[in-house]
């Protein structure tokens, strides 16, 4: 006998059919792209073997980098469990490209919270501490670029790095599509031949059928415990870009003499390969899940960002609540449907790298992985839950079922 909850779920899914079809089409394109890269780069089971110590001639590491470069449309890549997280990978990129006296121009406003201490401060080895200058131009209210302001700033200050963050971070803006970056990138390249366009691509991989590198970004960078790890990669980060940019970054990633010649991982690389292979499908599962939850909350009268009528550009859905209590309840409900630590109650705490107290639900197989069903939120007004992931659509649907009962 169908309950009322079942009925609502069915009706909501019916509404979402056109969106699901679009998501599946993009996943199909990306799956073929990844498959072809595996074949072209001659991936064999030999590539899975681990190495120890210096890791000279580590075939698994080097081939994985070639596959990433191919998939993400760059000349070269660094893909490594030695990059501890997305923040570390982004920081490595910035220190590799910027020198004392250079300027970094962020054109999407203030970068992600965990990068603030990379950018600012004295006596903390920040970029500012090293004499790198920083300038920022915010997005317009509707999350578009302030093109004229950006172009005059480039003419005036000639930045070494033009920096974009594709996903929204902890803000209420929208995520950006690579298609919306093309005009900007073309003009930046006309105005400044030797600046590097760097995109923090976290949460954006495989959401669209192209990546920022395909429209002219010099470097894209992200975390392996988000989209491209497909839920299997146990840790790490990736950096894909032009030969020139990756050379500079590699001198900082290890050191000027070692560059990409070293780096071992005894566990072996199978999970990185298998995760990347699954990633287009996993991202599609997450996108369908966030669409379902977004629709349910929207139908209940809550504001969700992006609204469920819009095409998503990252795997995050924000739900705006009126009070901290409602927000905390939502995050705690995610935890109750988590396969790991599903019996514990998350509370808000002072996390390293974040300015406000943060509450996180992450009952994940890989610690802190946010391609898995997870939800996090700083406790500050407006009370926004940033909800993402789900390795399978069915898992997110189990969460959606709870939401129908609670709200």
Ligand X SMILES: *Cc1c(COP(=O)(O)O)cnc(C)c1O
Residue ranges in contact with ligand X by CB under 6 A: 85-87, 112, 114, 165, 167, 169, 200, 202-203, 223
Backbone torsions φ then ψ of 203, nearest 5 degrees: 75, -5
Backbone torsions φ then ψ of 361, nearest 5 degrees: -105, 120
Name the closest residue to ligand X (Cβ). 86
Question: Cβ of 142: how many Cβ atoms within 10 Å?
Answer: 7
3 state DSSP class of 190: helix
For ligand X, give the closer residue by CB, 50 or 353. Answer: 353
Minimum distance, C-beta of residue 270 to ligand X, in the bound complex (Å): 22
Minimum distance, C-beta of residue 115 to ligand X, in the bound complex (Å): 7
For ligand X, give the closer residue by CB, 200 or 218. Answer: 200
Distance CA 249, CA 272 (A): 21
For ligand X, give the closer residue by CB, 51 or 177. Answer: 177
- Specify whether the CB–CB gap between 302 and 83 falls below 8 A: no
Minimum distance, C-beta of residue 140 to ligand X, in the bound complex (Å): 19
Q: How far, in whole angstroms, is CA 152 from its chain's centroid?
A: 29
Minimum distance, C-beta of residue 8 to ligand X, in the bound complex (Å): 31
Distance CA 386, CA 9 (A): 22
For ligand X, give the closer residue by CB, 12 or 80. Answer: 80
In the structure encoding, which two tokens stand for residue 101, read together? Answer: 């006296």
Minimum distance, C-beta of residue 317 to ligand X, in the bound complex (Å): 13
What is the rounded (10 degree) CA torsion for 251, 269, 112, 22? 130
Q: How far, in whole angstroms, is CA 226 from its chain's centroid?
A: 6
For ligand X, give the closer residue by CB, 154 or 359. Answer: 359
For ligand X, give the closer residue by CB, 226 or 281. Answer: 226
For ligand X, give the closer residue by CB, 225 or 296. Answer: 225
Minimum distance, C-beta of residue 236 to ligand X, in the bound complex (Å): 10
Which one, of 36, 62, 66, 67, lies nearest residue 49 by Cα? 62
Minimum distance, C-beta of residue 92 to ligand X, in the bound complex (Å): 12
Which one, of 275, 329, 276, lies nearest residue 302 by Cα? 329
Which one, of 323, 324, 337, 325, lies nearest residue 403 by Cα? 337
For ligand X, give the closer residue by CB, 192 or 374. Answer: 374
Cα separations in angstroms, 5 against 245, 332, 399, 402: 53, 20, 12, 9
Minimum distance, C-beta of residue 200 to ligand X, in the bound complex (Å): 5
For ligand X, give the closer residue by CB, 74 or 236. Answer: 236
3 state DSSP class of 49: coil
Strand partners, 388: 316, 374
Minimum distance, C-beta of residue 202 to ligand X, in the bound complex (Å): 3
Minimum distance, C-beta of residue 25 to ligand X, in the bound complex (Å): 25
For ligand X, give the closer residue by CB, 238 or 393. Answer: 238
Q: Is the dihedral of CA 270, 271, 274, 280 positive or negative?
A: negative
Could you tell me how many residues make up the chain?
Answer: 407
Strand (E) or helix (H) holding 276: helix 270-299
């Amino acid at each position: 006998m169908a309950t009322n909850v079942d009925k609502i779920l069915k009706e909501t899914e019916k509404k979402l059919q056109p969106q699901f079809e679009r998501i599946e089409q993009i996943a199909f394109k990306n799956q073929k792209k990844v498959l072809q890269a595996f074949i072209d780069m001659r991936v064999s089971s030999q590539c899975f073997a681990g190495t120890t110590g210096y890791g000279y001639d580590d075939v698994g590491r080097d081939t994985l980098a070639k596959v990433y470069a191919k998939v993400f449309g760059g000349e070269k890549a660094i893909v490594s469990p030695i990059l501890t997280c997305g923040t570390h990978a982004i920081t490595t990129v910035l220190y590799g490209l910027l020198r004392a006296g250079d300027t970094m121009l962020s054109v999407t406003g203030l970068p992600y919270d965990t990068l603030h201490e990379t950018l600012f401060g004295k006596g903390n080895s920040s970029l500012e501490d090293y004499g790198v200058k920083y300038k920022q131009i915010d997005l317009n209210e509707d999350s578009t670029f302030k093109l004229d302001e950006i172009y005059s700033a480039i003419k005036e200050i000639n930045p070494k790095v033009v920096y974009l963050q594709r996903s929204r971070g902890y803000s209420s803006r929208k995520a950006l599509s690579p298609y919306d970056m093309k005009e900007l990138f073309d003009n930046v390249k006309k105005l400044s031949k030797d600046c590097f366009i760097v995109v923090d691509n976290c949460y954006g991989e495989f959401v669209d059928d192209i990546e920022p590198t395909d429209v002219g970004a010099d470097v894209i960078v992200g975390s392996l415990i988000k989209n491209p790890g497909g839920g299997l990669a146990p840790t790490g980060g990736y950096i894909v870009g032009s030969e020139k940019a990756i050379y500079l970054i590699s001198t900082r990633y290890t050191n000027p003499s070692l560059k990409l010649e070293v780096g071992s991982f005894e566990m072996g690389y199978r999970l990185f390969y298998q995760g990347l292979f699954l990633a287009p499908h996993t991202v599609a599962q997450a996108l369908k899940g966030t669409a379902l939850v977004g629709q349910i909350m929207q139908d209940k009268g809550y504001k969700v960002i992006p609204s469920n009528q819009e095409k998503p550009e990252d795997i995050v859905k924000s739900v705006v609540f009126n009070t901290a209590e409602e927000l905390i309840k939502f995050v705690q409900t995610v935890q109750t449907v988590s396969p790991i630590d599903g019996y514990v109650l998350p509370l808000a705490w002072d996390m390293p790298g974040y300015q406000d107290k943060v509450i996180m639900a992450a009952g994940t197989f890989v610690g802190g992985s946010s391609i898995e069903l997870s939800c996090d939120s700083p406790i500050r007004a407006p009370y926004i839950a940033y909800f993402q992931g789900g390795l399978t659509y069915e898992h997110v649907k189990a969460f959606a079922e709870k939401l129908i009962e609670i709200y």
